[in-house]
A and B are shown apart, each in its own frame.
Chain A
Amino acid sequence: MLSLSLILIPLLSGVAAFFIKADNTSKRLAQTASLITLAVALAGSFIQSSSLLAFDVAWLPELGSRFSLLSDGIGKMLCLLTAISLPAIFIATEKNEYEKKGSFYGLMLLTQAGLMGVFLATDCLLFYFFWELALIPAYFLCSKWGGEKRIQVTFKFFIYTFVASLLMLVGILYIYFKTTDHSFALQSFYHVKLSVKEEYFGFWLFFIAFAVKMPIFPFHTWQPDTYEQAPTAVTMLLSGVMVKMGLFGVIRWLLPVFPNAVARFDHIIILFCVIGMLYASLIAIKQDDIKRLIAYSSIAHIGLMCASLFSNQQVGMQGVMIQMFNHGVNIIGLWIVADVIEKQLGTRKFSKLGGLAQKAPVLAILFVVMALANIALPLTNAFVGEFLMFNGLFRYSIWMAVVAGISIILAAVYTLNMVQKVFLGNIVAITVNASDSSRNVNLILVILVIIVIVLGIYPQPILHLTQDSVQALFTAIH
């Protein structure tokens, strides 16, 4: 029941928000709903009783598909991340003006419902349903409220992900007809008997969908444009939570179902991930736009997570668990600052900014912590995750780990470069009249910074939450 309410609360409040004409009412509704969801998700992460966490009713009996949800450790963690993101986004960007707020907040909540469903579904057809449900509102959000080139850019994003997920649908059908009991259930998929060739075929159909969503090189081309053009609130949701759909898909639906194919293709995929990490880091150094820089840095981070997933090491997998959560928290923090700067000063170009620290000291301090977390410095949350992931990657292949390690140095280069050009240096014309950030923004950033530091020193909560399901996953694979 609990897992169902995680989907239903945003879904129903999202639909309700469409019909509210008054802007403020819809905003309050969205904030309240997202806070209630957060409370439920928090409660859920402490509950062990499976009767509360699982939900299962007949949905399409003729097709062998059930509406079954289960919130295991990984699901709990990602639901918690989703539940934290939404209120953080809503409160931090409260001052932003949108045309037709009701629709905006409604679509945001619908996206959240879709994301929750993806993380909870244990039926493959249901998973696919939510997978698309998360995409459609995101498409409308970006196309309606985005920047100048929003229509073309968002369309590229949509077509990319839609093609990929249709291929996944073919894969789902293919596996479905191979299952002994003709069912879409997770367990039937885990126990399906496939020949090696069939596994290879199904593997790629699934993998492309996840690879586009993450995105990893060379499927990443939609990402920087979309992040740049989308309204920042949506970018936060896309980069903070939605990219985790791809990683989660690999964990839940790819690794256990196609173990032989994973063993066969893992080196190719890790190679592409590492290439993507270096490539994205190098491009990030060249960027002159805060949003684009964060976008490329995100590609590099996701590349590392994906590489660790395929390194087949339990410690690396634990690292991914922590890092999925941390990456979400950190990148939302970075976007919030980017949004404050853009809204206040009207530009995101480093070349036009400078000396902001003198005008906005609080913002500067909070941002620097976030930036350090982006580099994965010790004492920040990202350090724990990256350490574990590199540990796993190192055990898999020393060379890959060494090459991937270069990206840490590059991350320091581009992140510090951004801090220096935007916040340090002399005050320039644009920043003369800048003031410090608002109370709401500070509140959210402080909370995020606390999470960053606490999890940097004491990552056990997340480890505990996901330990059992990682263990179960490895049992399923072997």
Chain B
Amino acid sequence: MICSIIVRNKGSFRHIAAFGLLILLIANILETYGKDFFHVNTMQLLQFDRFGFLFNSIALGATLIYVLLTGKEIEKSGKYAAEYFTLIFFVLCGIFILSAYDNLLMLFLGIEIMSIPLYILTGSDKRNLKSNEAALKYFLMGAFSTGLMLMGIALMYGGTGTFQLEVQRISVGMYKGVSFLEITGLLFLMVAMAFKVSAAPFHFWTPDVYDGAPAVFTSFMATIVKAAAFVAFIKLCDVRMTATLGAIDWKLLFALIIVFTLLIGNITAVFQQSVKRMLAYSSIAQAGFMLFALFNVNDVAKEGLLLYTAAYSLATIGIFAILVKMKDYTFEGYNGLAKTQPVLAATNTVFLLSLAGIPLTAGFFAKYYMLAAVVKTGSYIWLVVVGVLFAAVSVYYYFRVIQAMYFRNGNAATETITFSFKTGLIILAAIIILIGILPQVLLNWFYF
């Protein structure tokens, strides 16, 4: 349905891409409020619900901001500028499928449509060895996880006799006993999804890939793509992993994954010297927080996940937009940025505070919802306390950047900064603060 609009943009440039995104965004919002343009019979493979639409809006909005802010850098990153935009649109197409799938086969298709263009984007800097290495690593690991996923889907099919999520949802209630096949299949699926959202212990590809890929594309991968994987994951959990199924205590398993992810992401990020690599690990840590939503799927969790993806994506896109303008990606490279580029430093501070979850920024309410989703149940409070402690650890490395920018002397070198770039950053920061003070601007959508 939405794919047909996308194809039109093939082979065009930055402005057309932005324009296309804007049209898509408007179309998507209109559709959210029940204005159908045309109807396609999806044979129950896809189901467009409110949650999916809202996520699409967020993904489109974030991509729009991403293209507006870093469009020029995308053009510069390699020879084939038009192709990069096209690939981004392909990824978006995969994301739309993921936000609407109602059939395990569509889940598989969505993941593949989303991932394959990313392998290419990662390797787009052809003369850079690191970029090539990252692409190869990403491809091999990705292919492996996809294999696991396919295996899982096959086993699920064997266990339940259908690919449809809806039917499987019913079958949970119908049969008391759950077959061994089904549980194994579910485990495989979970591992594959954990790989996609870079949850520990399946996170090993993340730092290398994020570090190796050109920074502009890392920004896209770490935000919108990751969020989409989460949306796919939560839809899966919504159906299957809410109850203790079979012999496995899924809750405990998730709790362990969360703790492990938070631990690896946060502790490793502390020791990084490069801001880009720090952001890669911090994205693992943030994934740990987003996993809170999957831990206990309820309304709060779903709202929270959307808010989290919005807050996290916006802030990270902003930080990366500034990062690609820097000449030196290490912490020292940021020394004294407040003197040379006050606007960049100020907006970067807002983005970092948001990632750290400080009140008055969107990140606070994002974290708030994640914690609330678990506290609401009254059990597993220790998990929340652990999460909170790691949130404090994350403050350490986010604030290192702020310290470098404001309190250390240096001469941070940047590329030329245009006025429109600054304006874009200020608007982005303003949005983040607005959500931080009045989250209902975004939340009201959920209660429509």
Task: Write the residues of chain A forming the contact surface with B, with a CB cutoff of 8 angstroms.
Answer: 59-62, 128-129, 132-133, 136, 140, 143-144, 150-151, 155, 158-159, 162-163, 166-167, 169-170, 173-174, 177, 201
In angstroms, Cα B368 to Cα A177, docked, is 13
A166's closest neighbor in chain B, by CB? B388
A434 to chain B, nearest CB (A): 32
User: How would residues 371 to 383 of chain B score, 1 for a CB under 8 Å from any chain A CB and 0 otherwise?
Assistant: 1100110100100
B399 at the interface (CB under 8 A from A): yes
A290 to chain B, nearest CB (A): 25
User: B406 touching A143 by the CB < 8 A rule?
Assistant: yes
B403 at the interface (CB under 8 A from A): yes
User: B375 touching A173 by the CB < 8 A rule?
Assistant: yes
Which of these, B389, B392, B440, contacts A62 with CB under 8 Å?
B440
In angstroms, Cα B353 to Cα A133, docked, is 12
A262 to chain B, nearest CB (A): 21
User: B392 touching A143 by the CB < 8 A rule?
Assistant: no
In angstroms, Cα B439 to Cα A158, docked, is 26
User: B406 touching A144 by the CB < 8 A rule?
Assistant: yes
User: A170 touching B388 by the CB < 8 A rule?
Assistant: yes
A26 to chain B, nearest CB (A): 16
Known contacts A140-B406, A155-B399: A174-B381 contact under CB 8 Å: yes
B361 to chain A, nearest CB (A): 10
A231 to chain B, nearest CB (A): 13
B78 at the interface (CB under 8 A from A): no
B395's closest neighbor in chain A, by CB? A162
User: A170 touching B375 by the CB < 8 A rule?
Assistant: yes
In angstroms, Cα B385 to Cα A170, docked, is 7
CB interface residues, B 341-388, toward A, < 8 Å: 353, 358-360, 368, 371-372, 375-376, 378, 381, 384-385, 388
Which of these, A129, A166, A173, contacts B372 with CB under 8 Å?
A173
User: A128 touching B384 by the CB < 8 A rule?
Assistant: no
Which of these, B385, B406, B438, contacts A167 with CB under 8 Å?
B385
In angstroms, Cα B368 to Cα A201, docked, is 19
In angstroms, Cα B395 to Cα A132, docked, is 14
Interface CB pairs A-B, < 8 A, 15: A59-B438, A62-B443, A62-B447, A132-B358, A133-B359, A136-B360, A150-B407, A151-B407, A170-B371, A170-B375, A170-B381, A170-B385, A177-B375, A177-B376, A177-B378
A180 to chain B, nearest CB (A): 15
Known contacts A158-B395, A169-B371, A177-B378: A151-B403 contact under CB 8 Å: yes
Q: What chain B residues lie within 8 Å of A167 (beta carbons)?
A: 385, 388
B360 to chain A, nearest CB (A): 7
B180 at the interface (CB under 8 A from A): no
CB interface residues, B 406-423, toward A, < 8 Å: 406-408
Main secondary structure of the interface of B (DSSP, over half): helix
Q: What chain A residues lie within 8 Å of B62 (beta carbons)?
A: none
A304 to chain B, nearest CB (A): 30
User: B375 touching A159 by the CB < 8 A rule?
Assistant: no
User: B403 touching A166 by the CB < 8 A rule?
Assistant: no
A136's closest neighbor in chain B, by CB? B358
In angstroms, Cα B358 to Cα A342, docked, is 35
User: B396 touching A159 by the CB < 8 A rule?
Assistant: yes
Q: What chain A residues lie within 8 Å of B384 (beta carbons)?
A: 170, 173
B378 to chain A, nearest CB (A): 7
Known contacts A60-B439, A167-B385: A158-B399 contact under CB 8 Å: yes
In angstroms, Cα B375 to Cα A128, docked, is 17
B391 at the interface (CB under 8 A from A): yes
A148 to chain B, nearest CB (A): 12
B223 to chain A, nearest CB (A): 24
Which of these, B376, B392, B443, contacts A166 with CB under 8 Å?
B392
Given contacts A128-B359, A167-B388, 16 further A-B contacts (CB under 8 A): A60-B440, A132-B360, A133-B359, A133-B360, A136-B358, A151-B407, A151-B408, A155-B399, A158-B395, A162-B392, A162-B395, A163-B388, A163-B392, A170-B375, A170-B384, A201-B381
B291 to chain A, nearest CB (A): 17
B375's closest neighbor in chain A, by CB? A173
User: B391 touching A166 by the CB < 8 A rule?
Assistant: yes
A134 to chain B, nearest CB (A): 11
In angstroms, Cα B361 to Cα A133, docked, is 11
A130's closest neighbor in chain B, by CB? B359
